[in-house]
Amino acid sequence: MSTKNLHLIRHAATVTRHRRALLFGHRSAVLWFTGLSGAGKSTLAHAVEESLHQRGGHTYVLDGDNVRHGLCSDLSFSLEDRSENIRRISETAKLFVDAGNIVLTAFISPLRIDRDQARKLFQAGDFFEIYCQASIEICEQRDVKGLYQKARLGEIKEFTGISSPYEEPLHPDLTINTGAESLEASVERVLAFLIQNDILKPSL
């Protein structure tokens, strides 16, 4: 039965997001890293989290492979299930934002409509789409798991960039050329972006 048919009333918490921000010393937000498999989304997200953690930031990374082992273990890689995967992640990220965290999501999230739907869950200034831009040739060179080779041999069906589409962001909030920039430079660009958008204080 849909929850829309139940008599549900939201409970108002006394510990609010604003109070958490005052306690933590930074605003909460979602950094939505998107890009092809092998573009460096997870690597960059975890490196940014490490830097924020060392500064005393409250963070959490929602990583595509990790989530597929639990919350979304029942989903396939069809476009329909990919959309449901992103819907679940978006709702989970929203809870983490309310808890005062800077949430870093690392998902291919290949369809623009799904990323746009994710953005709509958040207030203006709470959701930032970060495009990890790398050519498919570079992604294949980095492919230590051999996934691209298996996809080209037909051993993996519905593989993004080979047999399933990836729609590049049209207007990302930030583009990181992960195919050319060093990891250290990429992290610094993300941190500068957070300061510019009033998520972090320069002193954090």
Is 109 an annotated catalytic residue? yes
Closest CA to 107 of 143, 138, 55, 72: 72
Of these residues, 28, 109, 164, 186, which one is catalytic? 109
Joined together, the tokens standing for residue 14 give 């006394």
Where b means 16+ CB within 10 Å and e means fewer, 53-66 reads eeeebbbebbbbee
φ, ψ of residue 167 to 5 degrees: the values are -100, 110
Note whether 71 and 107 are within 8 A (CB): no
Joined together, the tokens standing for residue 131 give 């495009």
Instruction: Give the catalytic positions in this structure.
Output: 109
